Amino acid sequence: MNVHEFQAKQLFAQFGVPVLRGKEVKTPKAASQWAAKLNTPVYVVKAQIHAGGRGKAGGVKLVKEQSQVPEIAKELLGKVLVTHQTGPKGRKVRRLLVEEGANIAKELYLSLLVDRDTGWVVFIASTEGGMEIEEVAAKTPEKIIKEAIDPAVGYQGYNGRNIAFALGLQQIEPAVINPFVQMLGNLYRLFMEKNCALVEINPLVITKEKTLIALDGKVSFDDNGLFKHADVQKMRDLHEEEPLEIEAGKNNLNYVKLDGNIGCMVNGAGLAMATMDVIKLAGSEPANFLDVGGGATKETVAAGFRILLKDKNVKGIFINIFGGIVRCERIAHGVIEAAKEVKLKVPLVVRLQGTNAEEGRKLLVESGLKLDVADDLWEAAQKIVGMTGKAA
C-alpha cells in the first residue's frame, strides 16, 4: 500500500526525521487559512497524488505572496496531472500539501528498501538528488551508494558514516554529518516498526542554513504487515487505487490489472503466470493476472468473472483451471451464474483439468453459453488468441 507525501511526512515527523511545516488541504479556502497561519516568505503548494514527477508536470508551485496560495490551490484542485509515473490517463488532484519553502543548497537522494537477494534492508543514497534515480543508476552507476544493514545488529552509527563519507558530505557540508547519521537511524526505525517496503526521500536537501530536510517523501508498506498498523490503514486512499483491484480485494481474489486484452481466470499463482506466458507466446497480451485460489467458491468465481468483464480492454476470456483443491464443477457454476447476470459478448475459451473436470465441462456446454472447450493449454491459448486477434 502506498500513501501520500503529506502522510509520509507525518510519519517522518513522528520518527524524528526533519520536515517542513505543512498541512494537507482540500479546498482553496483551507489553503488560504493555513497559509495565513504559516506566514512565511515562500509557500510551496504540492499536488498530492500517488506518483512522482509532479515537479516537472506542474504539480509543485512556489509562490511568495500569501494571496497567491488560494489561487494556485484553485488551479491545481480537480486538475488531472500527467507525469511520467501516472501513464497517459494521469491522476486527478483531490488534495494539496501547503508547506513553507526551503532554501536549497544541495539536493540528495536517499531510500531504504529490501534487497530481494539477501533479504536485508539496504540504504541507497546519491548526490544526484531531485532527479530520476533510475536514470542516475543507468547513466552513472558509480554515483549510487548502497549500504546493507545486518538484521542481527540493526542500524549502527558506522552505517550512517559510511554513507555520509561515500556521499562526500565532509566536503559538501560537514555540519550535517551528525544529524544525517541520526536521521538514517530514525528512518531505519520507521522502516522496521511500520513494516515498510520502501521509504524514499528525493530530494533530501541540505539547506543554506546547514540543516537537513526531507523535502519529498514516499512510503510504501508491506500489505502483509498492515493488520498490525491501524494508523497506517487509515491513510489508505482508495481514489489512488485501481477500482477493479479494490473489488477483487473485497472478494479475496489476487487480481492485478494489466494492459492487454485477454482476461484470464486461473487457479494458482504459478499456473496464472504460465497462462500469461502462453498467451504472450501465442501472440497476444493478458489483460490481467487473476488467481482465484484454492478455496474458490461459486461466489468468488462469479465475482472474478464480473471483474474480468468490467475491464473495457477485455476482448476475450480464457479460463484455465487445474482442479486440485478447487473443484472444476464449482468453477463452472460460478461462470454460469456470472454470465447470466452480465451478458457475455466476448469469446470464451475454457480449459478444465483435474478434479471433476468432466462434470464442469458438461455443465458449461449444457448451459447454453457460447464458449469453446479445450483440453490442452497450448491449443486453448491459440484458440483464444485466434478469436481476439494478435496484439499490435
Where do contacts with ligand GDP occur on this chain (CB under 6 A)? Answer: 44, 52-55, 60, 62, 101-102, 104, 107, 130, 202-203, 215-216
Nearer CB in complex with ligand GDP: 21/139: 21
- Convert 58-85 to b/e letters by CB count within 10 Å (16 or more is b): ebbbebeeeeebbbbbeebbebebbbee
Report the residue count for the chain: 392
Cell of 120: 536485508
* CB within 8 Å of 315: residues ≥ 6 apart: 261, 262, 346, 347, 388, 389
The response to whether 342 counts as a known ligand-binding position is no
Query: What are φ and ψ of residue 281, in 5° steps?
Result: -60, -35
Judged by beta carbon distances under 5 to 8 A according to partner kind, the member of ligand GDP, Mn ion, none in contact with residue 147 is: none
Judged by beta carbon distances under 5 to 8 A according to partner kind, the member of ligand GDP, Mn ion, none in contact with residue 283 is: none
The response to whether 107 counts as a known ligand-binding position is yes
Judged by beta carbon distances under 5 to 8 A according to partner kind, the member of Mn ion, ligand GDP, none in contact with residue 54 is: ligand GDP
Nearer CB in complex with Mn ion: 144/346: 144
Judged by beta carbon distances under 5 to 8 A according to partner kind, the member of ligand GDP, Mn ion, none in contact with residue 102 is: ligand GDP
Asked if residues 360 and 386 have their Cβ atoms less than 8 Å apart, the reply is: no
Nearer CB in complex with ligand GDP: 66/353: 66
Q: How far is the CB of 203 from ligand GDP (least distance, A)?
A: 5
Give the Cα separation of 66 and 113 in Å (integer).
38
Active-site position among 5, 173, 200, 329: 200
Give the Cα separation of 190 and 80 in Å (integer).
32
The response to whether 175 counts as a known ligand-binding position is no
The response to whether 101 counts as a known ligand-binding position is no
Q: Is residue 172 classed exposed, middle or buried when 0-12, 13-18 and 19+ CB atoms within 10 A define those classes?
A: middle
Give the Cα separation of 317 and 208 in Å (integer).
59
Q: How far is the CB of 216 from Mn ion (least distance, A)?
A: 4
**Taking Cα atoms as reference points, which of 250, 309, 282, 303 lies closest to residue 384?**
282
The response to whether 42 counts as a known ligand-binding position is no
**CA 184, 190, 196: angle at the middle one, nearest 5?**
115
- Segment interacting with Mn ion, rule: CB under 5 A, options 24-32, 37-45, 95-103, 195-203: 195-203
Is residue 200 among the annotated active site residues?
A: yes
Asked if residues 323 and 357 have their Cβ atoms less than 8 Å apart, the reply is: yes
Task: Find the binder of Mn ion among 147, 216, 291, 329 (CB under 5 A).
Answer: 216
Judged by beta carbon distances under 5 to 8 A according to partner kind, the member of Mn ion, ligand GDP, none in contact with residue 131 is: none
Active-site position among 5, 24, 43, 109: 109
Nearer CB in complex with ligand GDP: 102/314: 102
Nearer CB in complex with ligand GDP: 8/282: 8
Nearest-CB residue to ligand GDP? 55
- Segment interacting with Mn ion, rule: CB under 5 A, options 9-17, 167-175, 196-204, 269-277: 196-204
Cell of 389: 486477434
**Taking Cα atoms as reference points, which of 158, 157, 146 lies closest to residue 121?**
146
**CA 292, 298, 299: angle at the middle one, nearest 5?**
80
Q: How far is the CB of 213 from ligand GDP (least distance, A)?
A: 8
The response to whether 72 counts as a known ligand-binding position is no
Task: Find the binder of Mn ion among 86, 202, 251, 382 (CB under 5 A).
Answer: 202
Query: What are φ and ψ of residue 154, in 5° steps?
Result: 75, -175
Sequence ranges of the binding site for substrate: 267, 324-326
Question: Residue ranges for the binding site for Mg(2+)?
Answer: 202, 216
Residues contributing to the annotated binding site for ATP:
46, 53-55, 99, 102, 107
Catalytic residues: 109, 200
Query: Which residues form the interface with Mn ion (CB under 5 A)?
Result: 202, 216
